[in-house]
Amino acid sequence: MEGLSQLADVAATYARLDASGEVLRGGWSDLGLARGAVRVLHTSAPLPPDLIAVRIDVSADAQSALARAFVGSVHDTAMRPIVKRVLGVDGFVAAGVAAAYDDLRRVVDAGASSGVIDASTMYMSTEPPPAK
34-75 pLDDT, tens per residue?
878 888 887 877 777 677 878 888 898 998 899 899 999 999
Given this model, what pLDDT does residue 116 score?
A: 75
Half-sphere exposure of 87 (CA within 13 A, CB side): 16
Q: Does residue 114 surpass a pLDDT of 90?
A: no
CA distance linking residue 73 with residue 83, whole number of Å? 7
In the chain, DSSP finds a helix count (H) and a strand count (E) of 3, 2
Using alpha carbons, select from 110, 73, 80, 113 the residue that is nearest to residue 94: 73
Q: Does residue 81 surpass a pLDDT of 90?
A: yes
Q: What angle do CA 12, 18, 19 make, to 5 degrees?
A: 125
pTM for the whole thing?
0.46
